[in-house]
Amino acid sequence: MTINKDQVLRKNLTAVAIYNALFFEHKNKQKALISITIGDEKLTSLFQLRRDFISEIRKILKRKAYQGQKIAYFTNIELGASNGELTKEFNPHIHFQFFYDNYEPIKLALQTIEEKYTFSNKDIQHAKKKKAYMGYIIKEYLPKNYHATLEIQKKKLGMKKPLYTSSRKAIPNYVIRYIYHHYKTVAFKKWQTIDTQKRYQFILNQIKIGRIKIEPLLNDIPKKGYKVVKKYQVYIKIQH
């Protein structure tokens, strides 16, 4: 099996962009990283565990005691061996990064999940500083960590399901991708000077001062100067 490196890098950078968008929208919240290795070491079990864990959190948030509270998340399933080789060290596991004001719903959901599944390993890390950047969960998607063998194994074993997922953001993922691509195409030199971790923060600032406008598309007819991006119309004014 072969892969297109440029195509993979573009997809991986999308994952990084989605994570950074989530982080900057919730940087003032508390953060925790939960890592789980499941006993049977099957990817199918990890996919199901992820669905069950997130579903349980949503159910708990509907309780009267937690009404009005919100929890954002980014998840990623890793195959284990950093070079992608399926050796005895192969131990697929999943990371959950949560952004929250109250950890209790996450704690209760995790207790329920532990009763249903057998864990061979569990690790919980809380950010020491409230605004700390916790980028460990996206390390495999960074260009400097690209490894062809790993990407091939991800394609072979991923069952055409996303290895990473995230909660919804104020700006839909496809709009984020459009804005990133537009800046990279129209203002490449300026875009390259902006640190990867700060690009979404830059976009939020451009929205704040009116150089980027994102509005629902009404009657399938965009305003003058706007571009249609699925259900939205987007205006971007780039200051070179």
Predicted confidence (pLDDT) per residue in 84-114, tens digit: 455 555 678 999 999 999 999 999 999 999 9
pLDDT of residue 88: 52
pLDDT of the residue at 59: 96
Q: Do 206 and 135 reside in the same domain of the chain?
A: no
Report the pLDDT averaged over residues 186-200: 87
186/134 same-domain check: no
pLDDT at 237 over 90: yes
| CATH code of the domain covering residue 62 | 3.30.70.260
CA neighbor of 131 nearest in space, from 25, 19, 13: 25
Q: Considering the chain, what is the average pLDDT of its residues?
A: 89
Of 121, 144, 166, the residue at which a domain comes to its end is: 166
Residue 196 confidence (pLDDT) above 70: yes
pLDDT tens digits, 36-75: 999 888 889 999 999 999 999 999 999 999 988 999 999 9
Read off the pLDDT band of 119 (50, 70, 90). very high
- The reported pLDDT for the residue numbered 87 is 54
Same domain? For 129 and 183 the reply is no
Per the rule left: phi > 0, alpha: psi between -120 and 50, beta: everything else, 131 is alpha
Domain count, the chain: 2
Sign of CA dihedral 149, 41, 88, 81: positive
- The SS3 of residue 199 is helix
Residues 192 and 122 grouped into a single domain: no
Higher pLDDT residue, 220 or 210? 210
Q: Identify the band that residue 240 occupies on the pLDDT scale cut at 50, 70 and 90.
A: low
Helices and strands, number each (H, E), in the chain: 7, 8
Q: Is the pLDDT of residue 201 over 70?
A: yes
Three-class SS of residue 15? helix
Range of the domain at 213: 173-236
Q: At which of 150, 166, 182 does a domain end?
A: 166
Q: What is the pLDDT of residues 131-178, one digit of tens each?
A: 788 889 999 999 899 988 888 888 888 767 889 999 987 788 889 889
Which of these ranges, 12-21, 80-89, 194-203, has the smallest mean pLDDT?
Answer: 80-89
The verdict on 53 and 90 lying in the same domain is: yes
Q: Are residues 108 and 202 in the same domain?
A: no
Percent of the chain with pLDDT over 90: 51
Q: What pLDDT is recorded for position 129?
A: 85
What pLDDT, on a 0 to 100 scale, did the predictor assign at position 158? 72
Residue that is last in its domain, among 166, 186, 213: 166
Task: Let me know whether 93 and 212 are in one domain.
Answer: no
pLDDT given at position 128: 86
Model pLDDT, residue 150: 86
Residue 199 and residue 120 share a domain: no
Cα-based angle 118, 120, 126 (whole degrees, multiple of 5): 100
